[in-house]
Amino acid sequence: MRSSLPRAALFLMLAGVVVTVGPANASQFERVAPVTHALTKKECGECHMAFQPGLLPAASWNRLMDGLSDHFGEKASLPADSAAAIRAYLTQNAGGGDGRLIRVTEQDWWRRKHRLDPAVWQRKTVGAKSNCEACHRDAGKGLYEGD
């Protein structure tokens, strides 16, 4: 007996499954692949959580890596070979979003999910919008659901 689902609907359902296990897209930011690149974990994780590549598009990661001399007010210089390896990892595993923006917290998907009272960001336990782990305990593992 033939399925009552049209082939297009079946294809879209199957495509949805593939999308959820691949790089993050605008509707899939509650679970993103964790950082698995040791150098990225070490260098980026020294000062803040090493953000998962799937949280930004490749263009954003390239812009961010191009501006390490003024990385959000800090000098985050790296040896050329380390910077190249981190850039490659980030861009090859990038997600979707607006490539003109280098802050995860400025992406449309992030702003839609974080319509909170501005006082939340002033709490000592939070401190900044970029402190994902203040509310998402497993953010470092790429898990942002169940906050």
| Tens digit of each residue's pLDDT (9 = 90 or more) over 28-66 | 668 899 999 999 999 999 999 999 999 999 999 999 999
Q: At what angle do helices 80-92 and 58-66 cross, to 10 degrees?
A: 160
Q: Which of 101, 100, 134, 103 is nearest to 116 (CA)?
A: 134
Tens digit of pLDDT for each residue in 89-114?
Answer: 999 999 999 999 999 999 999 999 99
Average model confidence (pLDDT) for the chain? 84
Cα distances (angstroms) measured from residue 97 to each of 47, 65, 109: 24, 17, 8
User: Can you give the pLDDT at residue 145?
Assistant: 83
